[in-house]
Each structure stands twice: as structure tokens, then as C-alpha cells.
Structure 1
């Protein structure tokens, strides 16, 4: 059993996505601890403050007691709004505090895009325009081309948590562009786990969402892979090439083929 830890900002938004993912993934335990949020508002300073070192430290002890193998700060705005270097410093401090590898949702998006091997993406953000643009700038810092950035202009996590599938479809459709090879939906306050496959069918391309890539990032840090096609293409099992067939002169001939977990280059958040 692999135990992963998550620090989730605030309460009662979309943290119930995590037990859903735990059910879908094999032999994985997801431990979620909440951090304090002064005000539920999508403003640059307020979101950045949610990721302050003191706030993240409040949830560390409980995760240590749970024996987690990695920790992810489950917030997009609370990480990318600190900029590329600031987000690295944030996760480095978290790793020192908890004593295991640490990362954030924002780096989870970067690493997921790299694993999918796509060069160009579209961003479907719930945030106001300046915050949505800051996320796209963060992606560009990682060398990812952003074809389009759509901002829905919501003002709080509570508003995002109330959205249903139809509103999510409208969001990604508005953001989509033919040249985009994947769609990114960066808000961990959105309930998306139950809808990823439907969104991918709608667009005909991979869809990466906040809570989905957060868990994938925790697995990556723990050097563990778990598969569930119901969680989208990033969790789809990759088919390995068949093993070579031995020649008759080298002993009994045999061939082996089948599926096994695909391990791409493991990139730590500091790389």
C-alpha cells in the first residue's frame, strides 16, 4: 500500500474528489489534511497567501504520523502565483518540513504535460483573467506553449465547487483551440474526477484537471504508478513493446508480450 499526503486549502469544496480517486486506484491510500484560509476569494494576494510556509506547516505533523511517502500542496493558485522560482522554494521548504519529497499542483500540471509529450495546450480557468494569465505564464516558464487562455471570472472556490458537468463542458469548449494538444483545467476547487473521461470524449484530446494531476504528482514523487482509465489518459496504462523473440540457435524459442506500467523520465519539481 502506497500512502500519499496532500495539503488542501480550506474546507468543503472539492476535497471529496480524493476518496473517489482512492477507490479507482489500486493499493493507494490518499491522506488529505486541510490548511487554513482567511478568506475564500480569487484575488492574487489572497491566493498567494494560502501557500505561505506557516500555513503549510500546520498540516505537516498529521501527514508525518500517517507515514506518507510524498506530499503535494493541492493548490494551483497558491503555488503558481508565487512564480516559477517562488513555487520551487515553496515545495523545497515543504519537503524539508515533512521529510519526504514534496511538490504542488502547479508542478503536477507541468510534469503531466511532459509525460503526455504534448507541446501546445489550452487553459480553461475558473479564475479572473489576471490569475488565469499568471498560470499560463507559469507553464511558459516550463517551456510549454499555451495556445489559448480562457478565464471564466469566478470569484471564489465555493463558486467553483458548485459547478456541474454542463458548466465544465462549457468552460473547456470555450477554451479549446484546434492547435491545442491537451486541455488544462487548473482549479482544485472544481469537482472533475467523475467527469474527466466525458470531457476528453467531448474534446477528443487529453484533459488535465487540478485534483487529478495532484494525485498523479504524489504518485510520481513516490516512484509509484497506478492505472485507471476512468481518470483520463494521463492514468491510462501504456502498452509496452513486445520482448524480442529468441532465435532457435540460442535455446528454446519464446516470445513475451503484454502490458506493463510505462515509466517515463521521472522529473522532480526542482528540475
Structure 2
């Protein structure tokens, strides 16, 4: 049995995780522990507050008891708004606290894009323009080429959680560009797992969504290859354990630890 854990702020689209667990191999368990989300607004101060050490530490003890072999901070804005270095420092603190490899959804997007071999991406963000721009800047700091960013201007997580397939199609249509090799759809408050095949067929290219990416990142850290075509191109092929990933800071990270 492979057990991986997720620190998830509030209660929005956490039901994506049991859906993914059903679609993955029967010996994979996805454990979600909620962190406090007193303000679901998509403002920089509110999003950064979600990722403070105190908030993240509050969910660690439960994940330790669950036997999680890796942990992912399943929040985009509460990670990328700390910047490239800050996001890595954040998950290293989680790894030390829980005693297993740790990462975040934002960092997982970078690993997922590299796994697909994509050179250029488009970003379809629910966020206001200033927050979406910072996500794109986070990606560019890793050397990724972001060819377009569309911001839908959603006010907060509760609003995003109510979106269905039609709204998602409108969002990805507004963001997509012919030169983009893949489309990235951040925001763990969005329900996307049930819609991945339709979105990829609609665009004719890989679509990476936040909760899907979080699951893949947790399994990557646990050295657990997984295959589930209904979870999109990202899960269509089994993969070998990861090699260290080099970052612009001169540090490399393998399995959530500096190497």
C-alpha cells in the first residue's frame, strides 16, 4: 500500500481526491487533511496567510499518524506567492516537520510540465490579474516559457468550487494559444478531475490541473509510478523514479530534499 498525504486549505474541491483514488491503482491511498482557511479571497495577503508555517504545521500530526510516505501542500497561491525560493523553503520546512518528502502544487506544476516534455505553456487562471501574473512569473523563474496568461477574476475559493465543465471550457478557450504545448489550470478549489478527458479532447492537447498535479507530485515523491488514463495525459504512461531536478538557484531537489 502506498499512502500519500495532502494539506488542503478549507473545503472546496477536496472531493477530487477520493475520485482520483478510485481511478488509480487499488493499493494507492490519498489522505487529505484540512488546514485553516479563514478567508477564501483571492488577494495576495489572504493567499499568503494560508501558507504560514503555523497553519501548515497544524495538519502535519494527522498525516504522520496516517502513515503518509510523502506530503503535498495542495494550494497554489499559498505557495507561488512566496516566490521561487520561498516556495522551496516552505516545503522543506514541511518535510522536516513530517519526516517524509514534501512538495507543493505549484512546484508540482513545474515537474509535471517537464514530465510531458512541454516547451511552451498557456495559463488559464481563475485568479484576478495580479495573482495570475505572479503564477506565470513563478513558472518563468524555472525557465518555462509562458506564451499566454488569462485571468478570470474570480473573487475566492467558494466561487471557483461552483464552476462546472462549461465554465472550465470558457476559461481554457480564453487562455489557449496554438503554440502552447500544454495548458495549465491552477487552483485546487476547482473541480477538474471528472472533466480531464473532456478538456483534453476539447483542446487537443494536455491539460494540467491543480489537484491532478498534486496527486502526481505526491506519488512522484513516494517513488510510486501510477497509470490512470482517465486522469489525463499526465497519467497515461508509467514512469521511472525521478532524477534530481536542477533549479536556477544552484540547488537541486530529489524527492523533496536538497541533494
**Taking structure 2 as the reference length, what is the TM-score of the superposition?**
0.93
Residues 64-110 of structure 1 deviation map (CA, whole Å, 9 limit, x = unaligned): 00110000000000000000011011001000000000000000100
The offset of 1:265, in angstroms, is 3.2
Contact 1:124 1:172 in 2 (8 A): yes
DSSP 3-state at the match of 1:62: helix
What are the equivalent positions in structure 2 for 1:30-45 lying under 5 Å apart? Answer: 30-45=30-45
The whole-number CA distance in structure 2 between the counterparts of 1:105 and 1:145 is 19
What are the equivalent positions in structure 2 for 1:190-229 lying under 5 Å apart? Answer: 190-229=190-229
Equivalent in the alignment of 1:74 = 74
The whole-number CA distance in structure 1 between the counterparts of 2:244 and 2:204 is 27
The whole-number CA distance in structure 1 between the counterparts of 2:241 and 2:65 is 29
Give the superposed CA RMSD. Answer: 1.2
Equivalent in the alignment of 2:13 = 14
Equivalent in the alignment of 2:111 = 111
Structure 1 stretches of 5 or more lacking a match? 239-260
Q: Which runs of 4+ in 1 moved over 4 A?
A: 261-264
The offset of 1:237, in angstroms, is 1.8
The offset of 1:178, in angstroms, is 0.4
**Taking structure 1 as the reference length, what is the TM-score of the superposition?**
0.89
The whole-number CA distance in structure 2 between the counterparts of 1:64 and 1:263 is 23
Equivalent in the alignment of 1:265 = 243
The offset of 1:264, in angstroms, is 5.3
The offset of 1:263, in angstroms, is 4.8
Equivalent in the alignment of 2:249 = none
The whole-number CA distance in structure 2 between the counterparts of 1:205 and 1:217 is 20
What are the equivalent positions in structure 2 for 1:56-67 lying under 5 Å apart? Answer: 56-67=56-67
Residues 190-237 of structure 1 deviation map (CA, whole Å, 9 limit, x = unaligned): 000000111000111100000000000000000111110000000002
Larger radius of gyration: 1
The whole-number CA distance in structure 1 between the counterparts of 2:70 and 2:108 is 13
Structure 2 stretches of 5 or more lacking a match? 246-253
The offset of 1:262, in angstroms, is 4.5
